[in-house]
Amino acid sequence: MADVTIMGAGVFGLALAYVCAKRGAQVHLRDARGVGAGSSGGIVGALAPHVPENWNAKKAFQFDALIHAEEFWRGVASRAGIDPGYARLGRVQPVPDGKLDLAHAREAGAAKLWQGAAQWRVLRSDSAPGLAVAAPSGWVVHDTLTARVHPRQAGRALLGAFQALGGQFSIGDKPHADRVVVWATGHEGLAALSRDLGYKVGSGVKGQAALLGYAASDAPQIFADGLHIVPHGDGTIAVGSTSERDFDAPDTVDAQCDALIARAREICPALAPAPVLERWAGVRPRASSRAPLMGAWPGKTGQYVFNGGFKIGFAMAPVLAELMADLVLNGVDRVPDDFRLG
């Protein structure tokens, strides 16, 4: 019997399986469809910070997660022999008209709140690093905290590192009769939890994205008008994504994806001739609180929930997995109040 069975091989389940195995636990990871079969098998992989203002515990926690991400992914790559595509190359954002004073105020906030570990700089658009970006105001923000991963490579690397530590992975939708079970089953898991508790704890939000063929592996990513443009190390650039609360077909693309591509080419003119290599759609788990859900499943002894990584799953999973491992392996509850189930 395993010490813990983890249901769900998205980034939350994979990160927890790896961390538990590193601590010497016998871990069985299961998923009904395979590794990264849900939203963790997407293509964007932006690890972006909150703006440095109105600071609170949640923003501070995410900041710490981004600062420690490089060490985590370096360890994963070393154990697995697989590159997760991590790189902390920063991000460029056009400053909207009339928002230059706000951008400078945030620059001062970052100087204080980011503790010298990263910068938020306001620059003339023609002096920004990386790909040229359309900035009607003539100004951009360049931060050095934002990073990227390649979601699919990261999933394979996590699985490889977990298995190198003796972890077991199998296909299935039900756990064995083990001592502890952690449910990290994405939007389907949120629906199951809602049914069990009798109230809505979250739902799925569909996202569409696209992958373009353009080599800019060392360039910062771009964020403009709600759109991420993320260069990866394999000669591709991901653009995304939509956020659709109402949808009929969870894994199919439509005209909204074409609109994303058109917007990306307007924002970054260098992408105009870049071929579209892939269009992707999937459903991401969004908790009603907009924060991850972590903790014991109410009324189910030995069962836990680790879910709700909407938009921040890859950024937060490494640190959150350590907290979940404390809870399920040692009974030590260090879950932040903002993330606590119930």
Higher pLDDT, 90 or 178: 90
pLDDT digits (tens, 9 = 90+) for 248-284: 999 999 999 999 999 999 999 999 999 999 999 999 9
User: Quick check: 183 and 7 in contact, CB under 8 A?
Assistant: yes
Helix (H, G, I), strand (E, B) or coil at 219: coil
Query: To 5 degrees, how large is the angle CA 234–CA 249–CA 244?
Result: 75
State yes or no: pLDDT of 341 exceeds 90.
Answer: no
Cβ neighbours, 10 Å, residue 289: 14
pLDDT in the model for residue 179 = 77
Residue 125 phi/psi, 5° resolution?
-60, -30
State yes or no: pLDDT of 178 exceeds 80.
Answer: no
pLDDT in the model for residue 101 = 97
Q: Is 223 left (phi over 0), alpha (psi -120 to 50) or beta?
A: beta
Q: Specify the range with the lowest mean pLDDT, choosing from 78-92, 140-154, 286-300.
A: 286-300
pLDDT in the model for residue 58 = 87
**What topology does CATH give the domain 4-83+150-203+288-339?**
FAD/NAD(P)-binding domain (3.50.50)
Q: How confident is the model at residue 71 (pLDDT cuts 50, 70, 90)?
A: very high
Look up the pTM and report it: 0.96
pLDDT digits (tens, 9 = 90+) for 1-17: 579 999 999 999 999 99
DSSP string, 268-303: SGGGTTPPEEEEEEEEEEEETTSS-EEEEPTT-TTE
Residue labelled with tokens 């269009």: 279
Average pLDDT over the chain reads 95
Q: CA–CA distance from 282 to each of 26, 42, 80 (Å)?
A: 31, 7, 27
pLDDT in the model for residue 1 = 56
User: Quick check: 156 and 73 in contact, CB under 8 A?
Assistant: no
pLDDT in the model for residue 91 = 98
Instruction: Measure the CA–CA gap between 163 and 21, rounded to whole angstroms.
Output: 9
pLDDT digits (tens, 9 = 90+) for 23-61: 999 999 999 999 999 999 999 999 999 999 999 988 999
pLDDT in the model for residue 176 = 77
pLDDT digits (tens, 9 = 90+) for 282-321: 999 999 988 999 999 999 999 999 999 888 899 999 999 9
